[in-house]
Structure 1
Amino acid sequence: MSSPCDPQHAPVGDVSGALMMIDSQLKAVYDGKTRPDAEQRELVHQFAASLGPEGIDDLLDGACTLVYMYMQWLRRAYESHDKDVIEYVVPSLVGSMRAMTRSIRPEAVPTMAGLLAAAGSGLSPSLWRRQYGDWTPHEMTSLEATVFLLADHVNRLTEDRDFATRLVSDALAKAEAP
């Protein structure tokens, strides 16, 4: 029986834009910057402002697609070692989110945990979240942090700082190939 949250029914969104934002954050952290500099924050703000409401929705869907892609890659990686992705990834990321009290409000953590569990179970994070109404501003920041933490988890697992970005870039290139 097909679920209304099946990924085949989900919008892909602006995966490239979401990946660009996450990749720039990863690079900043890996370069030792604990906070993005003023220039980077301004560029991200200008980029988001240029999108408009529909573009922001596409960026949110793109971020959810990244969550799905990373959780599916992690699911396969953990299953190859007879481990469950939800058991090994979700608690770790939730713990990290709970420690990020300046960026993530406590009430957004359960939503992000649900988003991760949905993606780890093979459901579309976008469609799973949509059933609860519109995104709140606090959830947008939390979603960004969730994608960042997932990408970092993938990079740490592979011991390659660019693996998560390359994983998605390669998938995008294959999808666009004739």
Structure 2
Amino acid sequence: MTVERLFDEYGHFKRFQICLYFATVFQAIACGIHYLASVFLVQTPNFVCSVPGNITDVLYHNISGSSLESILPVVKPAGGPLVVRTSEGEQWELSRCRFALRIEPQDFTYDFNGNKTNKECSGNFVYDHSEVHQSIVTEWDLVCEKEWLAKMCQPTFMLGVLIGALLFGDIADR
């Protein structure tokens, strides 16, 4: 059977078929955007622990600054800690999920061989907003021990798609 014969027998495309076609295309594009949304919404920017007090000086290897936000864009995640000095004179070494207070430091230098008190972060983090302005990771602090929650975003969404397809597919057939 040829295409011309099908058109003669069933008719040509009318306005309804064209609208139906574009409605299904729009729906497919919208689904694709939702499926890819977690790629952008769950992105984890560079971050370090925050310290109590006002920070006056920051060191990262041979780079210095006056705020964490100015240094964070150049910090590599596995490149060593940030060293900060507070207005009270305390010196802290900051990393992603830990921070350490230097005990009786002599000078404000990057290398330190003295004693430190190591602590786990208690939920206060500073994020690099130069590339990622906001995500669910920065909104709810889904880093360190809560990192698994950010990784569950896509599987949870797909489980909802599966349940919705089974449930509403059956309802639509009734």
Larger Rg: 2
TM exceeding 0.5? no
Higher strand fraction: Structure 1 or Structure 2? 2
Task: Report TM bin, short chain.
Answer: under 0.3
Higher helix fraction: Structure 1 or Structure 2? 1
